[in-house]
């Protein structure tokens, strides 16, 4: 199986090229298989040469709107779509053109490997956003060529467009909670925006291969054998939110052979209390990197005064896990999504995945996709995110 996984990575790299180095709402529009690698490269070069650097082209964003974007894009801002800076940086191989991002994106970047790979990202401004809100005047003063925003933020989108900015809507839920397809949608859109469609292929194929492999192994589990899982999606000031049926936690649970204890709730982020957690009594708890707490806070019962975690099965049995943080948080879709699938499946069912050496898979993945040699210290950092990564 190890050889199979690595061979898939190698084949995907040929498609990725430089990549190696929320429901959507409708709003008014704002504005040959036999070819050799050399022939494909020449064809791509011819297409690039044909693009007028002074011209524009039309992109259909995830709102379904046709957006006229410049062929030459020098400055980029991301607002409410927090994973996009990391996705863009890995797509482009640089943070050079990124001139603004949200404080939450910055917090993740500063406390991840992305800051080691591309230290310039630590200098990207965030002061045009406060409390999740965009200061339009400050953003206009930055004069970005394009702005990426979340399609769930319709009011923000309309304000940005009304200000005369070139805005591209990016969805976090157009593909339901399927993280592999969501990431594919993001990278495909980036390929269209930057006239570099060839970069959009590859990593999704690896993600599907990983998914299929996991399904083969967990398909024989009886319902009584499946782990019942609680995701702590958000947890601060005593307020606890978990992933309902329509958020990424549902996908992670189902894709790795588990059961989301909140999966019968037809919602995204579901606010719950300790009494509900006691009733569910989950076998395992996963804490996302949108939460400042670590597993030790639940084990030591120090997360929040009045919240007694000591009686919860997952805590009693030592089955509380902090989601890793690679080039971005692993809970939402990211360029590390296939690794999240493998890590969580192995964590849920270590016996079924005993042959998988997670550290070696991570090193192979980062080398082939990002051209990065992960050290043992890097692995430790990925598996032990800081509290500060939760951000604003």
> CA 237, 238, 240: angle at the middle one, nearest 5?
110
Q: What is the pLDDT of residue 129?
A: 96
Q: What is the pLDDT of residue 199?
A: 65
Q: What is the pLDDT of residue 31?
A: 38
Q: What is the pLDDT of residue 341?
A: 95
Q: What is the pLDDT of residue 207?
A: 81
Q: What is the pLDDT of residue 90?
A: 84
Mean pLDDT of the chain: 86
Q: What is the pLDDT of residue 392?
A: 55
Q: Return the H-helix or E-strand segment holding 58.
A: strand 56-60
Q: What is the pLDDT of residue 50?
A: 65
Mean pLDDT for 265-280 is 93
Mean pLDDT for 255-272 is 93
Write the CB contacts of 156 (distance below 8 Å, at least 6 apart in sequence): 79, 80, 134, 149, 150
Q: What is the pLDDT of residue 26?
A: 38
CB 85 within 8 A of CB 124: yes
CB 368 within 8 A of CB 20: yes
Q: What is the pTM of this model?
A: 0.78
Q: What is the pLDDT of residue 238?
A: 92
Confidence label for 259 from pLDDT (cuts 50, 70 and 90): very high
Decide: helix, strand or coil at residue 93: coil
Does residue 372 have a pLDDT over 70? yes
pLDDT tens for each residue of 349-368: 999 999 999 999 999 988 87
* Paired sense of beta strands 133-134 and 129-130, if any: antiparallel
| Cα–Cα distance measured from residue 245 to residue 269, given in angstroms and rounded to the nearest whole number | 9
Write the CB contacts of 49 (distance below 8 Å, at least 6 apart in sequence): none
The full set of domains in the chain, from first to last, is 2-204 (3.40.50.1980), 219-369 (3.40.50.1980)
How is residue 172 annotated by DSSP? Answer: S
Tokens, residue 151: 């399609």
How is residue 169 annotated by DSSP? Answer: E
Does residue 391 have a pLDDT over 80? no
pLDDT tens for each residue of 24-68: 333 434 333 333 334 444 444 444 456 788 899 999 999 999 999
| Cα–Cα distance measured from residue 243 to residue 249, given in angstroms and rounded to the nearest whole number | 5
Write the CB contacts of 72 (distance below 8 Å, at least 6 apart in sequence): 53, 54
pLDDT tens for each residue of 146-197: 999 999 999 999 999 999 999 999 999 899 888 888 988 998 999 999 998 7
Decide: helix, strand or coil at residue 77: strand
Angular region, 70: left φ>0, alpha ψ -120 to 50, beta rest: beta
What DSSP string describes 270-335? Answer: EEE-HHHHHHH--SEEEE-TTS---HHHHHTT-SSTT---TTSHHHHTT-EEEPPBSSSBSSSS-T
End-to-end, the C-alpha distance of the chain in Å comes to: 40
With the CA atoms of 235, 240, 245 and 247 taken in that order, what torsion angle do they form, in degrees rounded to the nearest 10?
A: -20
Mean pLDDT for 113-129 is 93
286 Cα distance to chain centroid: 16
Do you know the residue count of the chain? 392
Question: Given strand 228-232, what is the order of strands in its sheet?
Answer: 259-260, 228-232, 284-287, 320-322
Confidence label for 5 from pLDDT (cuts 50, 70 and 90): very low
Q: What is the pLDDT of residue 34?
A: 33
Mean pLDDT for 94-106 is 94
| Cα–Cα distance measured from residue 39 to residue 221, given in angstroms and rounded to the nearest whole number | 47
């Amino acid at each position: 199986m190890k050889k199979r996984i690595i061979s898939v990575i190698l084949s995907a790299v040929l498609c990725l090229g430089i990549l190696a180095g929320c429901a959507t709402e409708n709003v008014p529009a704002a504005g040959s298989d036999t070819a050799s690698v050399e022939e494909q490269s020449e064809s791509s070069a011819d297409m690039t040469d044909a693009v007028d650097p002074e011209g524009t082209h039309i992109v259909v964003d995830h709102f379904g709107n046709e957006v006229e974007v410049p062929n030459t894009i020098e400055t980029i801002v991301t607002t409410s779509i927090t994973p996009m800076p990391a996705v863009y940086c890995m797509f482009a191989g640089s943070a050079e053109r990124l001139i603004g991002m949200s404080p939450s994106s910055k917090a993740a970047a500063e406390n991840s490997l992305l800051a080691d790979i591309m230290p310039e990202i630590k200098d990207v401004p965030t002061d045009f956003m406060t409390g999740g809100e965009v200061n339009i005047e400050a953003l206009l003063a930055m004069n970005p060529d394009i702005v990426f925003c979340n399609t769930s933020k319709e009011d923000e989108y309309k304000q940005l467009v009304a200000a005369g900015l070139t805005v591209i809507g990016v969805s976090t839920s157009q593909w339901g909670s399927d993280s592999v397809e969501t990431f594919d949608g993001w990278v495909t859109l980036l390929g269209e925006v930057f006239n570099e469609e060839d970069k959009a292929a590859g990593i999704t194929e690896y993600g599907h291969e990983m998914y299929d492999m996991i399904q083969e192994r967990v398909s024989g589990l009886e319902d009584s054998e499946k782990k019942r899982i609680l995701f702590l999606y958000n947890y601060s000031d005593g307020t606890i939110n978990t992933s309902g049926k329509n958020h990424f936690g549902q996908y992670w649970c189902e894709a790795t052979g588990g059961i989301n204890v909140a999966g019968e709730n037809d919602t995204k982020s579901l606010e719950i209390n300790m009494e509900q957690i006691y009733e569910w009594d989950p076998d395992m708890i996963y804490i996302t990197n949108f939460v400042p707490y670590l597993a030790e806070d639940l084990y030591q019962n120090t997360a929040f005064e009045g919240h007694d975690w000591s009686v919860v099965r997952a805590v009693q049995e030592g089955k509380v896990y902090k989601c890793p943080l690679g080039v971005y948080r692993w809970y939402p879709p990211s360029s590390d999504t296939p690794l999240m699938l493998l890590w969580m499946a192995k964590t849920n069912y270590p016996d079924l995945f005993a042959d998988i050496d997670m550290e070696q898979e991570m090193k192979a993945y980062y080398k082939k996709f990002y051209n990065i040699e992960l050290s043992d210290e890097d692995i430790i950092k990925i598996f032990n995110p800081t509290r500060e990564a939760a951000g604003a």
